[in-house]
Amino acid sequence: MFRNRSFLSSWIGNGISELGGAFGTFCNSILVFQMTGSTLALGSMWLLYFLPSLILQLFIGPFIDRWSRKWTMVLVQWIRACIYLIPLFALSVGHLEVWHIYAVQMIVGLVSPLYVPANHALTPTIVMKSQLKAANAYLDSTARLMTFLSPLIAGLIIEWIGVTFTLSFVCLLLLGSGVTLLTIQEKRATIKERKTWLSEFREGMTFFFHQKVIVWLGIFLAFVQFGVGVTMVTTLPYVTEELGGSYAQYGYFMAGFPVGFILGAMLVSKITCSSRRLLMLGSLCIGGFTFSALCFITYLPLAIFTEMIGGIVMAIFSIHNTTICQQVIPNQLMGKIFSVRLFIIRVSMPLGIVLGGVGSEWLGVRPLYLLIGIVIMIVSLLGMLLPYFTFLDRFQNRENKVSG
């Protein structure tokens, strides 16, 4: 598969993109917090990223396949590279203001929903069908690896050369990603029938809400994304103020969860349980407990270890969650349903960002971690104890009979 030039370009381009994007976000978070010292300002930064992203994602899905997926990805990378020149130039001349960072986040939020679906849709056109599973495994594992490496490396680089030169590096990475993706040999299919956006969106929504297993798995996952939204605002002040860590140590802490997620992804196929419901929701409950545990931890290495545990159990929950949905949804509806599902799930993240910004100002960071953890634990325990949710086990039993 690595003799396939198009796949190799996609693999390398995506890896560079993940690294550059994470570096940029890391720099933006530090700049906003340095200028304001406010978690509410950090929350506003993330809201300006997610709200435009959600709006565009709702409308863009039915049209992605009508454009060149390769050029969509390339142009998104080059737009991101150019937009990071705004804070770079302002910082260089000593006139950086918070609104510069907000403008960057808003534009990046607008173009990101174009890249992700175009990337997923392009992969089946550049590799053979028999190689598709392996191709996705390489792409996903590389993205997780970059998620692990980027905060670790970014923290060290910022400590070493400062934010200004790091932003220059971000622009070069994103520009290089676009150049790499440009070498992909795209095969475009002719669309014989074009439905209206409304008809395609309605088709996805109708199927989604008629499948309670998909609806409830989406709701459980929405609580996870809600917690993630909170941590986007609270993690930096938690590490630097509550634990007295440096920016490099902030990077170590940020790397804890993705390291755990990679370990969990390696373990998930080896873990057997007679009840998929108990395995999934039990993992979710442990994940909630790790949130609450951060309220009481005062030792940075222990906090990083707790994040790793959270990553392991969330990988188990998320991978089973996605697998069930892939098995339930018909192939011809996969894109539409996942688009609707992703939109509904991601709506919860801005709510978490709002709570993280406002709640940490009112309650403090530590009590907020305790509260979010308790909410996730209660939701997962209800799923494990209430007889209504046994349909998750019934689905597993039907699956076992088919495979038998």
Residue range 33-52, pLDDT digits in tens? 888 877 777 777 877 887 77
Q: Rank 17-26, 292-301, 356-365 by mean pLDDT and report only the highest.
A: 292-301
244 and 163 in a common domain: no
| CATH number, position 332 | 1.20.1250.20
Q: What is the mean pLDDT of residues 334-358?
A: 72
The pTM of this model reads 0.67
Residue 340 has pLDDT above 80, yes or no: no
Two tokens at 355?
Answer: 């709570």
Q: How many CB atoms lie within 10 A of CB 48?
A: 22
Instruction: Identify which of 353, 275, 287, 352 has the alpha carbon closest to the alpha carbon of residue 314.
Output: 287
pLDDT for 275-308, tens place per residue?
888 899 999 999 999 999 999 999 999 999 999 9
- The residue-averaged pLDDT of 169-181 equals 91
Indicate whether 287 and 402 sit together in one domain: yes
286 belongs to a structural domain: yes
- How many angstroms separate the CA atoms of 213 and 202, rounded? 19
The answer to whether residues 217 and 300 belong to one domain is yes
Domain identity same for 201 and 163: no
Instruction: Yes or no: say if 323 and 187 are a contact pair by the CB < 8 Å rule.
Output: no
pLDDT at residue 136 tops 80: no
pLDDT at residue number 120: 72
What's the domain range around 84? 1-183
Same domain as 360, residue 255: yes
176-197 average pLDDT score: 74
In this predicted structure, what is the pLDDT of residue 400? 47
Q: What is the mean pLDDT of residues 104-129?
A: 79
Q: Residue 264: inside a domain, yes or no?
A: yes
pLDDT at 297: 93
Are residue 108 and residue 246 in the same domain, yes or no? Answer: no
Q: Is residue 227 part of a domain?
A: yes
How does residue 113 score in pLDDT terms, banded at 50, 70 and 90?
confident
User: If you average pLDDT over residues 81-94, what whole number do you get?
Assistant: 88
Q: How many domains does the chain have?
A: 2
Tell me: do 174 and 247 sit in the same domain: no
Asked if residue 208 and residue 179 are part of one domain, the reply reads no
| 100 domain residue, yes or no | yes
In a domain, 189, yes or no: no
Please report the pLDDT score of residue 401 as a whole number: 46
Average pLDDT over residues 132-137: 63
pLDDT for residue 296: 94
pLDDT at 329 over 60: yes
Tell me the mean pLDDT in the region 122-148.
Answer: 71
Q: Are residues 297 and 383 in the same domain?
A: yes
143, 159, 183 — which closes off a domain? 183
Please report the pLDDT score of residue 399 as a whole number: 45
The last residue of one of the domains, among 130, 158, 183, is 183
CA atoms of 263 and 207, how far apart (whole Å): 34
pLDDT at residue 398 in the model: 45
Q: Does residue 5 lie in a domain region? A: yes
- Burial label, 167 (beta-carbon count in 10 A; 0-12, 13-18, 19+): buried
Is the pLDDT reported for residue 77 higher than 80?
yes
Assess if residue 192 is contained within a domain. no
How is residue 389 written in tokens?
């949710």
> Which tokens hold the place of 69?
């997926």
Q: Which of 113, 148, 183 lies at the terminal end of a domain, its last residue?
A: 183
Residue 3 CB-half CA count within 13 A:
1
Q: Are 175 and 306 in the same domain?
A: no
Does residue 272 lie in a domain region?
yes
Q: At residue 386, does pLDDT exceed 90?
A: no
Whether residues 13 and 124 fall in one domain? yes
Q: Are residues 46 and 69 in the same domain?
A: yes
Given a cut of 80, whether residue 75 has pLDDT beyond it is: yes
